[in-house]
Structure 1
């Protein structure tokens, strides 16, 4: 199953096609900035039952040079079968479009990034046939951006930096710098970035921190994430209020509430179940009766 960080690491190049120029500068490679970019179909399936799909495929138009095909692949872990797939992609793209292909691998951990960056030689040792050398962007070479002024200069690169440095010890400062910048960024630009970062952080611990920062620092945005956070906040508030009502009724009725039962009530976030317990609390002679039919 494709993870949300996987999607974010390559989708950012669809949302911000010019990002490759800045990434190539960071990686020390001189590519002419594109004058236009076209998002191409990623389906490389052949007429026979073999399906191969790229993550993102872009056609970059440049001034003076021939157009370039940029394939962007998000890689979450080492996979010994991948280099052969990447070589296939390059060959297929060259054959289909008659344009020179370039492969960019985006990673979130250093070990995978360094593995992906190693040249892979295909063919017998006596006469190597093909050498695969993808560009790789990851925590080992993408700059850490903690200064809001630097993030503001290039929001796309700052977003990629945030996603690739998800496990960096300074991720809190990185995320805070992004909310500082996004607070005064037009919503049509900021909202997709908010969602992209949330997607890129996946299930890492930093994801919860991002959600809290968005709820507090960017509370006026109407993005899907902010709407979800507000809905969660309302539900949590209702659950807490209903838990208090249950405990109040039991205590006023002189029903002993053991610590275990109190914790069971106060940690429940199921509003329907809490309502059921509330009804039971009105007539129950003990907390066991409140939970009797669980």
Structure 2
């Protein structure tokens, strides 16, 4: 004798699995396709082994209309595994917090943005049991902010511009303008923004350029990330100059960092660097002069523009 309604349903569907599809077609008038074969599967959904799953950023937003979870994913490339993991994240977070989750995808790739913006639908034709619609921020819908005067009106949008355009040809101008913009706001907020940009820049060159700008360009503010990078530079300088003295080693480290930044900016913007220009940069030991050249490298049409007026 069947002991519960759950067990009764299970027995009925095991005996005649077609009952389900017939009910969909004849009772609910849903156009479920005619199955060729139906097999019963294990009903136990318990996860025996813990599997680590993390979202990039999770925040709770209290609004007049209710409480929402903002689930932020930084996506570098197309990854079809997200078709399964993103719906899982949202379902799990709703079950845990009982708040409506909102998925936001941030990417620096137009191709990835188009892929991520496609709805993820589970079910069959004309009837979806679940639909996940990510909100996508990418290079095609986020403005490119290279003018610090424009960005000062909305620093957060300038930060988003750096995050979504951080690997394009305009990256040097975007990152340089952002450094200037962050100097105009309070130090605590600037610190948060600076570290957020650093963590979201997926391109290694862009990340290094961002750190170089914060540590060597003249408009620079104090914050934990900059202090960390500066400390790393001091340590490198000490190692390289230990035989000649700690102070000389630190200065040598600053000079080499500044020289490398000028060359990186030119290479990032795909500007050819003649041997004569490279030799002049590598021979310069004046950090202030190297910082001036770095600023010019952001807008230079060719490598020779670094030395205009000299």
Residue 128 of structure 1: aligned partner: 128
Per-residue CA deviation, residues 29-69 of structure 1 (Å, 9 max, x unaligned), is xxxxxxxxxxxxxxxxx774243333333222112x12222
RMSD of Structure 2 on Structure 1 (CA):
3.0
Distance apart, 1:171 and its partner CA = 1.0
Q: Given the superposition, is the C-alpha separation of residues 141 and 240 from structure 1 closer, same or farther in structure 2, using an over 3 Å criterion?
A: same
**C-alpha distance in 2 between matches for 1:234 and 1:91:** 46
8 Å contact kept, 1:179–1:217: no
Residue 200 of structure 1: aligned partner: 200
**C-alpha distance in 2 between matches for 1:125 and 1:93:** 27
Tell me, yes or no, if structure 1 residue 172 matches structure 2 residue 172.
Answer: yes
Residue 81 of structure 1: aligned partner: 81
Residue 224 of structure 2: aligned partner: 223
Distance apart, 1:149 and its partner CA = 2.4
Aligned residues: 199
Q: Given the superposition, is the C-alpha separation of residues 202 and 71 from structure 1 closer, same or farther in structure 2, using an over 3 Å criterion?
A: closer
Tell me, yes or no, if structure 1 residue 239 matches structure 2 residue 274.
Answer: no
Written as runs of structure 1 = structure 2, the 5 A alignment for 1:147-166 is 147-166=147-166
**C-alpha distance in 2 between matches for 1:195 and 1:242:** 35
8 Å contact kept, 1:211–1:229: no
Distance apart, 1:234 and its partner CA = 7.2
SS in 2 for 1:67: strand
8 Å contact kept, 1:183–1:217: no
SS in 1 for 2:104: strand
8 Å contact kept, 2:76–2:202: no
8 Å contact kept, 2:73–2:105: yes
8 Å contact kept, 1:166–1:204: no
**C-alpha distance in 2 between matches for 1:130 and 1:220:** 47
Q: TM-score, normalising length from structure 2? A: 0.55
Distance apart, 1:112 and its partner CA = 1.2
SS in 2 for 1:128: strand
SS in 2 for 1:217: coil
SS in 1 for 2:78: coil
Residue segments in structure 1 that go unaligned for 5+ positions in a row: 1-45, 246-265, 267-294
Over alpha carbons, which structure has the higher Rg? Answer: 2
Q: Given the superposition, is the C-alpha separation of residues 125 and 236 from structure 1 closer, same or farther in structure 2, using an over 3 Å criterion?
A: same
**C-alpha distance in 2 between matches for 1:223 and 1:238:** 23
Distance apart, 1:227 and its partner CA = 4.8
**C-alpha distance in 2 between matches for 1:66 and 1:110:** 33
Q: Given the superposition, is the C-alpha separation of residues 87 and 158 from structure 1 closer, same or farther in structure 2, using an over 3 Å criterion?
A: same
